[in-house]
Amino acid sequence: MSTIYDGSITLSKLKSTIVEGKGKDDQPVKGIFIPLELNHFTVKESAVYMPIRVVIHDKPDKHDQDGFISQKSDPEIWKAADDAKKEELFKLPILGNFRNFGEKSKTEADKAPVSDSLDKLPF
């Protein structure tokens, strides 16, 4: 058994914009566009990673949250950064909070395909 924490991540705290594209059968689809480099994401092969930090409080905070998730920089990006860039990386956002709702069994996460185009979205 594992301990499961439920919460949410506010994607709009990243550098992003809401966009509309065309999906299957040219139907309009609203989505969020998140620039990879501006958000310090790591791209390896066909996967995109966003390093995060999970902080678990000793006791729930004043909003009854057990912890939070924040974005952090990839160690390689940090090592290559000059002082101005490191100052920017210190300001990466807190993305969300979470609560412990007990123990549950693990499930396998869905895999999302990576696409290079907004012309024809796969949904």
Residues 6+ apart with CB under 8 A from 47: 114
- What confidence tens digit (pLDDT) does each residue in 66-103 have? 999 999 888 888 899 899 989 888 889 999 999 988 76
d(CA 63, CA 94): 15
Residue 28 lies in a domain: no
Q: Which two tokens stand for residue 43?
A: 């791209």
Question: Could you report how far apart the first and last alpha carbons of the chain are, in Å?
Answer: 34
Residue 121 lies in a domain: no
- pLDDT (0 to 100) of residue 114: 56
Give me the amino acid identity at 1.
M
Flag whether pLDDT at 20 surpasses 70.
yes
Residue 120 lies in a domain: no
Residue 97 lies in a domain: yes
Flag whether pLDDT at 1 surpasses 80.
no
- pLDDT (0 to 100) of residue 83: 92
Residue 21 lies in a domain: no
Where in the sequence is the domain holding 68, given as residue range(s)? 2-11+42-104
* Total domains, the chain: 1
d(CA 90, CA 99): 25
Residue 64 lies in a domain: yes
Flag whether pLDDT at 105 surpasses 80.
no
